Structure 1
């Protein structure tokens, strides 16, 4: 559990909150999301749909005054944050590999359907959704948690404790790690959690 307790809220509740808010956003659809490829740390750009998704996310967040933004070192997340803040207001940005997507190792660049044919659907499902299962030369979700959560606690929580509204634009698995931490989810529960592209998830301090 986080050192500072959080509770999940709806976007519409933020205006009534008297506490700092944390908003998590997965990047917009990438070109390889569109092509159904394992992306991981490969640096691909957003698709046209992804750009539109970020524009829509910015409209939803337009009434929130953020003081700082966090993102990964990967283009699709950094550009998503840039597109959002370009519409709602430029803010200081911190980029860190700690927020990078889970590294998919030998699966990176491979079409997911082709991977199922090669390795079997059950094995691909375990690699994608199992907590401790690693694809060859890649990371598990557990590995991702081990680099993401310490950064979240030392950097992002510090800003929130200073009274700042924080926007984090990152990736499906680095955000799953944060959600698991914030909500105290079990290993079994987090397997069921999906983070949609460019859909804000909001928390405030309890």
Structure 2
């Protein structure tokens, strides 16, 4: 069963792409909406020396055919049918859900190798972890998915969504060329309503481990000494040879979160991020206001989702849902409770 689901998920992952700006649709012709990415730039003084960012992607744009009201990605379950709204601006909400998932075990995790930005898929255990993660979040609304540009994070997101009770279909945004944009347009309003856009970004990639990538972790400790390897892996500002420190990873990941993901949440959209141990640690450091010393001791297990609720602009951690009926998650917010109730009724 897991292998079959994996095969279906891999079939959707034909390329990596960006969609950095969902909030500013423009009406063109017959409800044609062009969503244009911003040029990604160096932020917070972040250096781009060497190969630290695993092959940065080209600047891109995406075209989706949709009505202006649908570009707000409001889940039909969480809102009853309403009269058409002449305003193009999505309604703002004071509450939204944020799901963070570290990818399932990869084939190099299984072999105890430093992976970093090397693009390797999930192991069989990782596939099972992603499916189990999906079961845990199956009653939590998801309007838009952000992933890293690496296949293990994208596989995790796709496999998790196969378990969601809403049965919406994740659609990876393909926009490598004008032809790709034209060929990937969706012309059914009903299909668009049952879809979730998936935006991939290199800024959410794992920390680049430089010359350690591909090396066995135990053999590396034997060669360089346990203390030195521990400093490379767990210090905040010491990078491995020709690699990134956690501080450097945090600069790019948090800047992307602030600029492109947080606005989605503030507008009331429910977001899932499937990424990596260090990029997610960086985002959690921002959400929980952790110090550089506190974040280095933060451990994230593979395939275990973590839920945050944003209320009145404040992020509140709810932990990991144990099961779709886990009381603590739904008791906290009326919106999530009503969403689950409507799913049950359906």
Say whether the 8 Å CA contact 2:97–2:141 is kept in structure 1: no
Q: Distance in 2 between matches of 1:175 and 1:52?
A: 21
Say whether 1:75 aligns with 2:151.
Answer: yes
Task: Give the alignment partner of residue 33 of structure 1, picking from 101, 109, 116.
Answer: 109
Task: Give the alignment partner of residue 85 of structure 1, picking from 161, 169, 175.
Answer: 161
TM-score (norm 1): 0.90
Say whether 1:109 aligns with 2:185.
Answer: no
Pick which of 80-89 and 47-56 moved more: 80-89
Say whether 1:139 aligns with 2:215.
Answer: no
Say whether 1:96 aligns with 2:201.
Answer: yes
Say whether the 8 Å CA contact 2:203–2:252 is kept in structure 1: yes
Q: Provide runs of 4+ in structure 1 moved above 6 Å.
A: none
1:195 — aligned with what?
A: 300
1:43 CA drift (Å): 0.6
Say whether 1:20 aligns with 2:96.
Answer: yes
Task: Give the alignment partner of residue 62 of structure 1, picking from 133, 138, 144.
Answer: 138
2:231 — aligned with what?
A: 126
Q: Distance in 1 between matches of 2:280 and 2:247?
A: 13
TM-score (norm 2): 0.54
Q: Distance in 2 between matches of 1:86 and 1:98?
A: 25
**Counterpart secondary structure, 1:147:** helix
1:166 CA drift (Å): 0.3
**C-alpha distance after superposition, 1:29-63 (max 9, x if no partner):** 00111111000010111000000001101111110
**C-alpha distance after superposition, 1:99-154 (max 9, x if no partner):** 00000000000000000011100000000000001000100000001111110001
Task: Give the alignment partner of residue 150 of structure 1, picking from 245, 255, 261.
Answer: 255
CA RMSD of aligned residues (A): 0.9
Q: Distance in 2 between matches of 1:184 and 1:65?
A: 26
1:179 — aligned with what?
A: 284
1:85 CA drift (Å): 1.5
Task: Give the alignment partner of residue 43 of structure 1, picking from 110, 113, 119.
Answer: 119
Q: Distance in 1 between matches of 2:141 and 2:231?
A: 40
1:65 CA drift (Å): 1.6
Uncovered stretches (5+) of structure 1, i.e. residues with no partner:
1-17
Q: Distance in 2 between matches of 1:65 and 1:195?
A: 22
Uncovered stretches (5+) of structure 2, i.e. residues with no partner:
1-93, 170-195, 315-346
Q: Per residue, is there more helix in 1 or in 2?
A: 1
Greater radius of gyration (CA): 2
Say whether the 8 Å CA contact 2:131–2:162 is kept in structure 1: no
